[in-house]
A and B are shown apart, each in its own frame.
Chain A
C-alpha cells in the first residue's frame, strides 16, 4: 500500500488527506508540530476574543481521524531526503514516504527591525502565537498599550482582538491609507474611519524604526521612523505579511524561491513530492493571481486538486474566478472577480463607487471602459451571492447588466434594507445612463428554466 505523507495539518493538507481518503485506500499520515488536530486558522482570533473555545474552531470531532484512517503525528519535520524518500521528525524519528505533500503554510514576516526578538514582540499566525498573546496581553492591566506594525488583514484582526479586552492599541500603517495597495481609495478611506470609530490610534504613513528594550530583554516602547516619536507599550504585534514556511527544506534538493516552486500540477522539481497551500509558489502566476496565494480558499482548492493527481487522475490546478472575503472590525468585505486599487489598476479598468450617506456600506464595481465588460466587485457591509457573480463573470456580462440585476445578487438577511435603487441612480448620474433596477427574481437566482 502506498504511503502518503502530508506535512502540515492546515486547510490545504487536511483537504488533500480527506480527498485522498475519499478516492483511495492509501495509507495517509499527516504530520504537524503545531497542534494535534486540524483547526481553522482564520478563527484563532475568536478564541482570544472569547467567542469560541479552541475546541470549537476544530471542524471535525476527534474520532473523525481514526474513523477515516488518517494517521496524525505530532512533531516538526526537520529534514527531507528525496533520494531515500525519507524524512526526519524532530531530528530523530525517521519516516518513509512514497508520495510527499508539503503543506507547511506560512510564517510571519520580520524585516530585521532592531528589537524584533524581544519578549512581548510577536506575530499572529499559529496556535503558539495565540498562546503567546495570552501571556503578552492577557488584559489591560498587564498590557497597558499594544503597538501593531503592519496594516493588513492580520493587523486589523489583532487590533480587534486586543480591543475586545479594552487594551489601548496604536496601529502603525506604512501606507497613507489602510490597505490601499489592495483597496480602492473610497473603500480604504471608509475603513480608516471605522478603525478610528473603534478607538484605535491609527497612524497612517508611519513606519517602525526600532523596538526599544527595557533592559531586561522585554519591550518597553517603539520608535516611529517618520516622527521619531517614542510610544511606550507592553506588546508589539508584527503583522507585516507572511511568507512561506519552507526553511527546513533548504538542503533537501527541492527547488525553492520564496516558496516551494511548483508547476500547474503542483509538482515540485523532485518526483513524488508536491507542494500546496500558502507554501507553494507557482512558476508563472495564474491570470491576475499572485504566484504565492496565502488564502484559505486556494489552500483548499490545491488540496482537492493534488488529491486527484495522487490518486491517479492527474489534474492541473485551475482555480475559477477569484473571490475572497474578510471582516474589518464590524464591516464584512467580499470580493468577486478583480477590482484593483489605484496603484494596481489595469489599463482600461474603470470603477464605479457608491457609498451609503450615513452607514458604513459601500461597493466598487470594476469594468472595462472600452468594452463595458464587468470585471469585478468589492462590497462592504452588503453580502452578495457568490453563485450569481460567478455566473456573471463566466458569461462576461456588461457592467450595465450587472447594475440592472444587482438585486438578484443581494445575499443580506431577510428584511434588511435594500440599496439597489440608490446604487442604480448614482450609476446613472455618474455615467449618464438611464438603467432601471430589475426586481429580484427567484427564477433567475435559482436558475429554474
Chain B
C-alpha cells in the first residue's frame, strides 16, 4: 500500500500548495462569481453593464492568472504532476462539491430559470437581469437564461482555453486545436447568432425572422433543427433563410461525411464542437476520470447507439407530423418522406453489409437490430398514425421526451454537471448521437487513425489514463496495433502524454489502416509470423 493513502484528510494531499499569486487569483475569480451569486439573490446592482463587465473580467482574469502562475515557472512538457493527489481532479471532496454545484446549476438552468431571474413578460431580475445590457448590445433583445449560459460557456472556453494552451505550450497540435474551438465558440455559437437576431423583421429576410441558429451545430446534435417552427421561420425569411436551411441539410449529408472521411470525426468533436470545446478546456482537469473498463465500453455502445435510433425516430416522426398528403401543395409529402428515409437507411445498411462486413463481425448483429427497429417503426408510422399521432405516440410526446431526457438531462445535467465524477466527455461518449454517427463512419470509412510506433510501447498506461473517451489505448499500443475506434475524438492527448513517442494521429490510406495483427518491430520476423498465425 502506498503511504499517501494513509492520510486521513478528506482532501487528499497535493504535493504543492497554492502560491501567493494563485491565492490572489482565486480571490479575484471568486469575487467575479460572487457578483453573479449576489445578483442571483436579487441584490440590485445600480449600473448593471459595469458590474457584469467587472464580474466576467474577474472570472477570466482569476482563471488566467491562476494558470499562468501554475505553468510559467516550468519548462514546456507534460504537466500532470499530482493530478491524482489533488482532491478536485481525483474525485475527492472538492471534486464532489464541484460536481454537485454544477449539477445544481444545470437543474436550475433547465427547469427553474425563474430562480435565475427570468421574467416572461416584463423586465428580467436577478442574474439574468444583470446580463440584459450585454444581450441588448448584441441582439437588441433582453437576456434569457440561455444567453446567460451562452456567455458563461464562452467565457469558460476562452479562459480555460488559454490555460490549456499554456499547459501544452510545447505541443502545436494542441495549441492550434484549442484556438480553433475558442474561435468557433466565440464566433459561431455566441456572437453570430446574436447578431443574426438583429436582422429579424428586416427587409432582407422579407420581414421574417430566423430561428436562433448556431451554424456549426449539426443535426442530430442539434436535434431540433428540422422541427416545424424552425422550418417555417427558415422558409419565411427569404433567400437567406432558405440558404440556411439548405446549409443545415448539406452539413448533415455532405459536409460532415466528407470531412469525417478526410480527417476522422476529430474535425468536429475536438476542433469545432461547443460541447467538445468545453470538455477540452474547462473539462481538461477531469479527463483522467473516464472509466476504461470493458464493462463501461459495453454500456457505452448500447446507450449511445440507442440514442441514435431514438433521435432518428423522433426527427422522422416530427417532420412526418407536419408534412401534408397533397403533392400539389408541396412536393415532399408524408409518404415520400418516409420512403426517402427508409431508402437512405437501406442504402447505408446495404453498403456496410456488402463492403465492410469483414470489419464488422459480431457488431453486425447490433447494427442490423438498430436498423430494423427503425425500419419497422417507419412502417408503423405509416399504418398506425392518425392526425398528430405517429405510431403509438404523439410525435410531440416523442419530441418532448427526447428533449427532456437527452437534450437536458443527459447532455446538460449529467454530461457537464458530472465532469468531476465521470470525466469530461460523458455526454460525448455515452449520449451524443452526432458523435456516434460520425464514429460509425470513422471506424469504417475514414483516413484517420492513431498509428502505433512499431514495438516502442512500454505499457505504462498514460495514454489510457488520460483518454477522456475511456478508450484503453494501451491495449492496442502494446500489441503494435493501430487505434481505430469509433469513439476517438482525436484530442491528441494520448500522443502528447506518451513518454516514448509511440502514438501519432494521422490521416493516410485506408489500406492497412486496421491491422489486427501484432506488429511488434524489433522482434524476429519469423516469430511475428508465428504469433499472428492464430
Show the binding face of A for B, using Cβ within 8 Å.
Answer: 11, 19, 22-23, 40, 42-43, 46-47, 49-54, 56-59, 61, 130-131, 134-135, 138-139, 164-166, 197-198, 296-297, 300-301, 304-305, 308, 313, 315-323, 325-327, 329-330, 332, 334, 383-387, 390, 411-417, 442, 445-446, 448
Contacts and interface: CB of A to CB of B under 8 A. Distances in A.
Q: Please give me the 3 A-B residue pairs with the lowest Cβ-Cβ distance, nearest first.
A: A386-B454, A330-B77, A383-B501
A413 B497 CA distance: 12
B501 A411 contact: yes
B522 A305 contact: no
Interface string B266-302: 0000000000000000000000000001100000000
Interface in B399-454: 451, 453-454
Given A40-B460, A325-B456, A416 B172 contact: yes
A383 B455 CA distance: 14
Given A43-B459, A51-B83, A131-B1, 6 more contacts: A19-B531, A297-B455, A308-B527, A323-B456, A385-B453, A412-B504
A315 B458 CA distance: 24
Contacts of A412: 504
Contacts of B530: 308, 313, 315
Contacts of A322: 522
B509 A390 contact: no
B206 to A, nearest CB: 45
A134 B4 contact: yes
Contacts of B506: 414
B461 A56 contact: yes
B511 A446 contact: yes
Given A52-B84, A53-B84, A297-B522, A415 B172 contact: yes
B82 A50 contact: yes
A325 B521 contact: no
Given A40-B460, A301-B523, A323-B455, A330 B76 contact: yes
A61 B295 CA distance: 11
A383 B521 contact: no
Contacts of A19: 531
18 contacts: A43-B458, A43-B461, A50-B80, A323-B522, A325-B456, A334-B456, A385-B453, A385-B454, A387-B453, A387-B521, A411-B451, A411-B501, A414-B492, A414-B506, A415-B172, A442-B509, A446-B509, A446-B512
B317 to A, nearest CB: 41
B111 to A, nearest CB: 37
Contact of B2 (A54, A198, A323, A330): A54
What interface size band does chain B fall in?
35 or more
Given A296-B458, A297-B455, A315-B527, A411 B173 contact: no
Contact of A304 (B172, B456, B527): B527
**Chain B interface SS verdict (over half):** loop
A197 B76 CA distance: 11
B281 to A, nearest CB: 18
Most buried by A among B294, B453, B495: B453
Most buried by B among A47, A300, A321, A329: A300
Given A304-B531, A390-B454, A51 B3 contact: no
B475 interface: yes
Contact of B84 (A51, A138, A297): A51
Contacts of B2: 47, 54, 130-131, 134
Contacts, number: 196
Contacts of A197: 75
Contact of B492 (A61, A308, A385, A413): A413
Given A50-B85, A301-B523, A413 B495 contact: yes
A134 B77 CA distance: 24
B387 interface: no
A431 B171 CA distance: 33
A198 B75 CA distance: 8
Contact of B80 (A23, A51, A61, A323): A51
A412 B82 CA distance: 27
Most buried by A among B2, B15, B460, B530: B460
A205 to B, nearest CB: 25
Contacts of B501: 325, 332, 334, 383-384, 411
B159 to A, nearest CB: 23
Given A134-B4, A323-B521, A334-B500, A49 B80 contact: yes
Nearest to B1: A131
A48 to B, nearest CB: 8
Contacts of A384: 501
Contacts of B294: 61
Most buried by B among A23, A322, A413: A413
B217 interface: no
Nearest to A138: B3
B520 interface: yes
Interface string B477-518: 010000000000000100111011100111011011000000
Contacts of A386: 453-456, 521-522
B75 to A, nearest CB: 6
Contacts of B176: 415
Nearest to A390: B521
Nearest to A301: B523
B465 A56 contact: yes
A417 B172 CA distance: 8
B528 to A, nearest CB: 9
A23 B171 CA distance: 43
A413 B527 contact: no
